[in-house]
């Protein structure tokens, strides 16, 4: 049991901010920040994120190259070396500056990218470092459900919290916390779909592969969202009971690739997994051991989805709208109505 368990109805962010507001131990040094040597800063040892999206990182590199470092990182003094610092928040900015310095050819450019704008907080404990890293990254696009869930699980164990206390502490719904904890326990093939994502070949409306002017196949990097991942996790459990774990993971991998390539909606993924579990085609044990997702044992392909929706964008294929089912049209109307409310 921790010495100071998290109180009910107190968010983890309140714990950090409350400590930072009490006297000198919580003051921010140097106002809006000061320049620190890039090499004097090291990563947060309690950072929950294990994967940085290379594409998002490159976007940040381009932004800093053009506009400079707009937002300061947050650091604390290293507990055993007063000349060094540890990141509290802002790892992507710090790593983007490292890339800019590595790629610089001129001495002036290397010197320009050799410093990082930072705000120092003093009196930040290890516990607060862990909490801050979780809260700061919880809603970032490049913070995967897997990393969030792993950090929540670690926090739950170390603070000896119930699900309710953990949810209250984060200020989140219990169902959200349960889903994230489950995401951290899924098989590697599903965790990879949420974190690293998959490169999928793009196809035209007629199913033919799209190519670049040079003749190479067009591909796009896509990720599996949390709710879809949990559907595939349930399907994986079902297939594992019917065949070997390796074969089940292979089939699920193919199903995930197909879903991402064809831009399946969540309802379509639910439908696929439900049909796959019913084994309506009389799938035998031997057949299950030799089958792969997308072969004759899998549910028949659906009509191409008229839209693709994920946490980052909604893409509508106008040429497919004429063949959309009533259910697909209703789902699209709901999504568009939600977008219009924000305009």
Active-site hit among 91, 136, 231, 249: 91
| Residue 34, beta-bridge partner list | 118
304 within 8 A of 323, measured Cβ to Cβ: yes
Start-to-end CA span in the chain (Å): 48
Looking at the structure, tell me whether residues 245 and 319 fall in a common domain. yes
With 50 as the cut, is the pLDDT of residue 293 above it? no
Average pLDDT, the chain: 78
With 90 as the cut, is the pLDDT of residue 252 above it? yes
Q: Is 91 a catalytic residue?
A: yes
| Residue 89, beta-bridge partner list | 74
158 within 8 A of 3, measured Cβ to Cβ: no
- Tell me whether residue 178 is in a domain: no
Other CB atoms within 10 A of residue 44 CB: 22
Domain housing 92: 12-144
- Which of 325, 227, 222, 328 lies closest to 273, judged by CA? 227
Comparison of pLDDT for 208 and 21, the residue scoring more: 208
- Tell me whether residue 171 is in a domain: no
Helices (H) and strands (E) in the chain, counts: 14, 9
- Tell me whether residue 280 is in a domain: yes
Looking at the structure, tell me whether residues 325 and 203 fall in a common domain. yes
Q: What is the pTM of this model?
A: 0.61
- How much is the pLDDT for 322? 75
d(CA 22, CA 251): 55
Looking at the structure, tell me whether residues 59 and 199 fall in a common domain. no
336 within 8 A of 321, measured Cβ to Cβ: no
Other CB atoms within 10 A of residue 140 CB: 12
- Tell me whether residue 162 is in a domain: no
- Tell me whether residue 159 is in a domain: no
- Tell me whether residue 157 is in a domain: no
Q: What is the number of domains present in the chain?
A: 2
- How much is the pLDDT for 284? 38
With 50 as the cut, is the pLDDT of residue 81 above it? yes
3-state secondary structure of 21: coil
Handedness of CA 230, 338, 205, 201 (dihedral sign): negative
Looking at the structure, tell me whether residues 125 and 219 fall in a common domain. no
- How much is the CA Rg of the chain, to the nearest whole Å? 24
- Tell me whether residue 168 is in a domain: no
Reported as a single tens digit per residue, the pLDDT across 205-219 is 666 777 878 878 887
307 within 8 A of 205, measured Cβ to Cβ: no
Comparison of pLDDT for 297 and 257, the residue scoring more: 257
């Amino acid at each position: 049991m921790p010495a100071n368990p998290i109180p009910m109805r107190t968010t983890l962010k309140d714990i950090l901010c409350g400590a930072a507001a009490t006297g000198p131990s919580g003051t921010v040094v140097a106002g809006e920040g000061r320049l620190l040597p890039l090499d004097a800063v090291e990563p947060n040892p309690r950072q929950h994120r294990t994967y940085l999206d290379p594409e998002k990182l490159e976007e940040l590199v381009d932004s800093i190259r053009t506009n400079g470092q707009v937002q300061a990182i947050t650091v604390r003094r290293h507990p055993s070396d007063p000349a060094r610092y540890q990141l509290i928040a802002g790892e992507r900015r710090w790593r983007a500056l490292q890339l800019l310095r590595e790629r610089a050819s001129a001495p002036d450019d290397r010197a320009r990218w050799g410093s990082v704008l930072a705000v120092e907080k003093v009196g930040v404990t290890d516990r607060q470092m862990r909490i801050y890293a979780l809260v700061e990254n919880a809603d970032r696009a490049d913070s995967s459900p897997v990393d969030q869930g792993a950090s929540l699980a670690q926090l739950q164990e170390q603070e000896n919290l119930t699900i309710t206390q953990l949810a209250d502490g984060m200020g989140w719904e219990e169902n959200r916390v349960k889903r994230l904890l489950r995401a951290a326990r899924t098989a590697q093939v599903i965790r990879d779909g949420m974190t690293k994502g998959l490169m999928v070949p793009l196809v035209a409306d007629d199913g033919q592969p799209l190519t670049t002017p040079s003749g190479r196949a067009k591909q796009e990097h896509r990720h599996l969202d949390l709710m879809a991942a949990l559907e595939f996790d349930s399907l994986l459990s079902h297939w594992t009971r019917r065949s070997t774990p390796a074969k089940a993971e292979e089939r699920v991998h193919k199903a995930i690739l197909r879903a991402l390539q064809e831009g399946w909606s969540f309802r379509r993924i639910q439908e696929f997994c439900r049909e796959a579990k019913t084994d309506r085609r009389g799938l035998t044990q031997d057949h299950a051991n030799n089958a792969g997702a997308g072969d004759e044992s899998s549910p028949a392909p659906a009509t191409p989805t008229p839209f693709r929706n994920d946490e980052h964008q909604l893409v509508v294929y106008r040429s497919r709208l004429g063949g959309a089912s009533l259910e697909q049209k209703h789902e699209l109307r709901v999504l568009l109505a939600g977008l219009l409310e924000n305009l």
